[in-house]
């Protein structure tokens, strides 16, 4: 079976949005009122990162056009093995490890399933588009 590989894989640390523990939750809009709670310990995953302003949130006459600053590409086999479900609103807090680690503030905006191989009977990758919210409070 052909299994896809990531180009230049790197460790990313993801904090899941804990919607059940969020103090105030709007059931109609399905979003938190105020700040969403996040599980304390980040999940360590491997991803391919693509950075660059491919898109950006822009107000248009037809409404808001949601755009991103880049993407993370995950192998679904790793996500299944680690029993992790990537969702919109999850936050990436660190990229890399050791001397090369960098704190980031990336929020996942949208998800796209990729790599549909017939022998795998479906998608083999998940492309998670993110928005960099660090620009408002730059860390050294």
Q: Integer distance in angstroms from the first to the last C-alpha of the chain?
A: 45
The pLDDT value recorded for residue 140 is 46
Residuewise pLDDT in 10s, the chain (140 residues)? 678 889 999 999 998 876 655 556 666 766 666 566 666 789 999 999 998 765 555 666 666 666 788 999 999 999 999 999 998 888 999 999 999 899 998 989 889 999 888 787 888 999 999 988 765 554 44
Question: Minimal CA–CA distance to 13: which of 47, 48, 46, 42?
Answer: 42
- 17, 31 Cβ separation under 8 angstroms: no
State how far the Cα of 44 lies from the Cα of 98, in Å rounded to an integer. Answer: 13
* pTM score: 0.75
The pLDDT value recorded for residue 59 is 67
Domains contained in the chain, CATH given: 10-134 (2.40.10)
């Amino acid at each position: 079976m052909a299994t896809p590989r990531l180009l230049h894989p790197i460790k990313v640390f993801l904090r899941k949005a804990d919607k059940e523990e969020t103090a105030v939750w709007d059931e109609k809009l399905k979003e938190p009122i105020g700040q969403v709670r996040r599980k304390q310990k980040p999940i360590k995953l491997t991803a391919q990162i693509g950075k660059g302003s491919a898109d950006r949130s822009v107000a248009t006459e037809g409404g808001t056009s949601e755009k991103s600053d880049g993407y993370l590409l995950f192998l679904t086999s790793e996500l299944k093995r680690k029993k992790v479900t990537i969702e919109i609103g999850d936050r990436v807090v660190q990229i890399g490890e050791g001397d090369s680690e960098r704190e980031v503030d990336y929020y996942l905006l949208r998800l796209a399933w990729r790599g549909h191989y017939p022998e795998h009977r479906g998608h083999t990758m998940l492309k998670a588009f993110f928005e960099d919210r660090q620009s408002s409070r730059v860390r050294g």
